[in-house]
Amino acid sequence: MEQISFTKKLTKNNFTFFVIAVVLFWIKTYAAYQIEFNLGIDNKLQEFLLVINPLSSALFFFGIALLFKKRTKLVMIITNFILSFLLYANIAYYRFFSDFITIPVIMQAKTNAGQLGDSALSLMSPLDVFYFTDFIILIVLALTLFKQTMETNRKSYKIVLLFSITTFLFNLGLAEKDRPQLLTRSFDRNYLVKYLGAYNFTIYDAIQNIRSSSQRALADSSDVTEVENYRKANYAAPNPDYFGKAKGMNVIYISLESFQSFMIDYKMPDGQEVTPFLNSLTRNQNTFYFPNFFHQTGQGKTSDAEFLMENSLYPMSQGAVFVNKAQNTYQAMPAILKGQGYTSAVFHGNYKTFWNRNVMYKAFGYDQFFDAEYYNMTEEDTKNYGLKDKPFFTESMPLLSSLKQPFYTKFITLSNHFPFEMDPGDTDFPAGDTDDQVVNQYFQSAHYMDQALEQFFNDLKASGLYDNTMVVMYGDHYGISENHNDAMSKVLGVDEITPVTNANLQRVPLFIHVPGVTGGIQQQYGGEVDVRPTVLHLLGIDTKDYLEFGSDLLSPTHRNWALFRNGDFMSPDVIQVKGKCYSTLTGELSENAEACSAIQDKVNTELQMSDEIVYKDLLRFYKPEGYTSINPDDYEYLGPKGKTTKNAKTTDSTKTTESD
């Protein structure tokens, strides 16, 4: 009897419902951490922090419901749904990017809405309903055991809030003990989630973003001086043997989607090469090939790589600079070359709004943007994000040939994109034989891309453009994330993928083909940021007055290291991964604790300087000697049907659009 009335009392109590909500949510979040995320737990303290870190936010958010005298349970259920949705969005995002969603990524979601298609779906599974079990349980409880309407005692809110804050401070205190300056230095998002939890991370992220938008407002021209001094002190002067060797030539950049260097010279078990054409280029006498070259992208993936190439500045540590800073002033490649009489164009078989390209390209000064609207986007010729590489290059040829020379152009390939699936008939190349479908397919799509590139080179020769065109090809970023380490260890024939192996896997190939110039395999270390000065110097344009961070790869004073956006770096002697210093040769932890510190200091300064420019929009206060500023408003990408509109709109002949 007593037992029954006790249970009754409990189920009549909104606070009991609150405790159930918090506990279920806490358990679920912890399970998600264990199942979905690879947070790199190193010690017992971190294990403990992972257990307690969902608690403070669960108390805080579910606690809000206790402010409602009535409908408390309903508010808790809604809160649960919002938080569960956030967690699940992070899970799906992490499955592909090995990273967490940030506020700018959410902003991007709007820009890129509806375009994720196949790859978004392939990241979800019916079993994922597990991440909404507590939501379902709460609804069932509210309709059964807790059916009775009860008023909430608001006093309980204060106690819960106090408890939540105490838990948070306790959590933060322990985290700071293990990782000093966790909040003040910009660590990897993985760290923040590991120490503070996925929900607290989102709050932290929102605060950061509000701060960043106010930074621009507070900046003034005096902020440029420091950056300018740093830049002058770190300028690598051009190599006289190469300076101007490609002067006046056309330039074609090709972004090789998700293409990593381990594929170069890789042979399938039957002896077939995956990328025979690119392999042959590494030995082509007019090609500079850089095997120790690294991508430096963040969450902006392809667009971050583009940003590095065009500006020789680093992308943002979170979010895509293409989306968040498209209103900034830039002094990008197309604008610099415009001053030398070049026309410019981008070719890409996806729609122009993706990655906010149509906005950012105006800021870069691109005359034309041939996006999906210019291509035959038939069912048969498209896959995943857009046009397949073979029809892409074929259909681009007449557009390219129609450009006024000299031209500066960029081709962004697409076929070799996650999940790397091909249509039957697109390739007869064998798949890999690991247990991982994504990795297996990567060989097929990379082979397809290689064939498309060979076809394009042949078309360039046939069109007569080849002998007067410099071609720069680069892998934009990794294709196979750490989630595929098991299969990758089989592919590479190693026991396990260590953090060092993984850092080495961030190599992407760089090819610079210059007709008539002797190239060769170049062992120097470098990254995407270094390509712009290298290319400009080949074109005979000195970069000393530009505010950029790259170092000419062919310069005798090239610095010979490459940083990653998270602050780690690679060099011939030492490499730093997740803050730890290793010997490049052995891959073992370096015995000399100071071995990495010299490069580490430079890396920190450089990222900080680059961020200053990007966050504060400092280029608006600076004009390089001899550079003619462009006005983004002079550009418009109206599509093939837009020609008449454009002519009707303006009579200004200096405006360069599709009608050129």
Integer Cα distance of 641 and 228 in angstroms:
44
- Say how far apart CA 57 and CA 63 lie, in whole Å: 9
CA 137 to chain centre: 37
| Shortest distance (Å) from residue 477 CB to ligand GP9 | 7
**What is the distance between the alpha carbons of residues 53 and 196, in angstroms, rounded to a whole number?**
5
Q: Which one, 175 or 422, has the nearer CB to ligand GP9? A: 422
Closer residue to ligand GP9, CB minimum distance, 105 or 488: 105
Q: Provide CB contacts within 8 A for 203, sequence distance 6+.
A: 57
Closest CA relative to residue 66, chosen from 163, 186, 145, 180 = 163
417 binding ligand GP9? (CB under 6 A): yes
- CA–CA distance, 510 with 527 (Å, rounded to integer): 9
CB closer to Mn ion out of 302 and 560: 302
Catalytic annotation, pick one of 202, 302, 343, 534: 302
Among positions 272-301, residues that touch Mn ion (CB under 5 A) are 301
CB of 500 to ligand GP9, least distance (A): 25
What whole-number distance in Å separates Cα of residue 166 and Cα of residue 172? 10
Q: How far is the CB of 531 from ligand GP9 (least distance, A)?
A: 18
- What's the CA gap between 134 and 144, in Å, rounded? 15
Asked if 412 touches ligand GP9 (CB under 6 A), the answer is yes
* Size of the residue set binding Mn ion (CB under 5 A): 4
| Total number of residues that touch ligand GP9 (CB under 6 A) | 8
Q: Which stretch binds ligand GP9 (CB under 6 A): 20-28, 129-137, 149-157, 409-417?
A: 409-417
User: 510-513 and 469-475 as β-strands: parallel, antiparallel, unpaired?
Assistant: antiparallel
Smallest distance from ligand GP9 to CB 390, Å: 17
- Per rule CB under 6 A, is residue 354 in the interface with ligand GP9? yes
Non-local (6+) Cβ contacts of 223 within 8 A are: 612, 616, 618, 621
CB of 96 to Mn ion, least distance (A): 12
Residue 337 CB, shortest distance to ligand GP9, in Å, is 22
8 Å CB contact between 480 and 263: no
- Binding at 565: pick from ligand GP9, Mn ion, none (beta carbon under 5-8 Å per type): none
User: 201 or 418: whose CB is closer to Mn ion?
Assistant: 418
354 binds, among ligand GP9, Mn ion, none (CB under 5 to 8 A by kind): ligand GP9
Q: According to CB under 6 A, which residues from 282 to 321 bind ligand GP9? A: 301-302
Contact status: 385 vs ligand GP9 (CB under 6 A): yes
Query: What, of ligand GP9, Mn ion, none, does residue 199 touch, CB below 5 to 8 Å by kind?
Result: none
| Cβ closest to Mn ion, residue 304 vs residue 436 | 304
Choose which of 476, 528, 530, 611 interacts with Mn ion (CB under 5 A): 476
Decide which of ligand GP9, Mn ion, none touches 190; Cβ closer than 5 to 8 Å per partner kind. none
Two tokens, residue 384:
């995943």
CB closer to ligand GP9, 304 vs 658: 304
Residue 59 CB partners (closer than 8 Å, separation 6+)? 22, 160, 161, 163, 164, 167
Measured CA to CA, the distance from residue 73 to residue 65 in angstroms comes to 7
Sign of CA dihedral 360, 313, 553, 248: positive
Label the pairing between strands 293-294 and 526-527: parallel
How far apart CA 9 and CA 71 sit, in angstroms, is 18
Binding piece for ligand GP9, criterion CB under 6 A, among 66-74, 193-201, 411-419, 621-629 = 411-419
Applying CB under 5 A, the span of 103-111, 256-264, 452-460, 486-494 interacting with Mn ion comes to 256-264
Tokens of 629: 């500023």
The rounded distance, in Å, linking the Cα atoms of 574 and 303 is 29
Residues 332-351 that bind ligand GP9 (CB under 6 A): 350
Site string for Mn ion, 300-319 (x = CB under 5 A): -xx-----------------
Hey, is 507 helix, strand or coil? Answer: strand
Toward ligand GP9, which CB reaches closer, 385 or 637? 385
Cα–Cα distance, 194 to 99 (Å, whole number): 12
Q: For residue 586, indicate whether it is catalytic.
A: no
CA-to-CA distance for 504 and 294, rounded, in angstroms? 9
Nearer to ligand GP9, 21 or 438 (CB): 438
Instruction: Tell me which residues are annotated as active site.
Output: 302
By CB under 5 A, name the binding residues for Mn ion.
Answer: 257, 301-302, 476
Report the interface residues with ligand GP9, using CB under 6 A: 301-302, 350, 354, 385, 412, 414, 417
